[in-house]
Structure formats: C-alpha cells, structure tokens
Amino acid sequence: MRSPRFQELAGLGAIRAFFEQPPIQHLGLELAVCWILECLLDHDSYPTALMHDLSDAHPKLRLSETVLQQAIHFLDHEGAISTYSQRCPSRGRPRRMLHLLEAHQQAALELMTPWRHWLEENEAHLHGGAHAPSSGFHPAAHPAPGCRPGVLPAGRQ
C-alpha cells in the first residue's frame, strides 16, 4: 500500500528535482560554532547579524535561532567569548554584542581550515545538485504540496 505522501509526488520527476536543487540546509551545533568563530575573528557581532550574514555569504545554508543560542552558550561556557551592550540609534534597546577573547583566537584560527574545507566540500554538493547531507547538516522541513514551507498538513508529521 502506498503512503499518502508518495501519492502526492508528481512522479519521479519531482524526486529528480529534489536532487538537482537540494533544499536549504541548517547547520548543526559544531558547524554553527565554527561560523560564529569565523565571524568573530573578523569583527564583533550580534546574534541576528550572524544569522543574516550566513544566509548572505552561503545562500543554501541557514542557522536556526535555537542552534545559534546553543552555540553562543557553548562558546560562553568555554570562556571563548565575552558580551557587551552597544547602543544602536535605530533601536530602543542596546544590542548584545559578542567578542572573541584574545586567549582563544589561536584555537579559533586552527578550526578555520577544517571549517573552510567542510564548506568547500558541502557547497559543491549543494550547488552541484548532489544531495548528501553529512554530520552537522540537518535538512530543512520540506513543504507539502499546497502548504507554506516548513508547514506540514495535519496528520503528516
């Protein structure tokens, strides 16, 4: 007996299209830490900017708010970052800025080689049409036909 989800697919062409244009991928904790470190090696930043910068620099990658906060908590617990408030004229409340501490810059730099290697390998798959998620890579929810992205119809979770 065929599942209802299988019957909704528009034939094998829909499956081929999935592999030719893979969906946006979300970073896991380890990769999120590397992304944050890469940004903080360049300049201090704030959490929302880190999410936007990732989607600008790597259009097929995303970072969820939850994983971002877990990665920031991890770096804070490791003693690798400090935070400070910065007033922004266009905002009512100050931003929580993140700063990579000098004592951890060398360790962060050492992670950049494997991080960039991972980016090169996985972005080739994403742009080239191959779909092979690896560790740290979590596929985004696929929209059901007729539904908004990330929203599944009732009974199909």
**Tens digits of residue pLDDT in 60-97:** 899 999 999 999 999 999 999 999 999 988 878 899 99
**Tens digits of residue pLDDT in 39-52:** 999 999 999 999 99
CATH architecture of 22-130: Orthogonal Bundle (1.10)
Amino acid occupying residue 144 = A
Indicate the average pLDDT of the chain. Answer: 80
Q: Is the pLDDT of residue 135 over 80?
A: no
pTM for the structure as a whole: 0.69
Q: What is the DSSP string of 52-114?
A: HHHHHHSTTEE--HHHHHHHHHHHHHTT-EEEEEE--TT-SS-EEEEEE-GGGHHHHHHHHHH
CB atoms closer than 10 angstroms to residue 30? 15
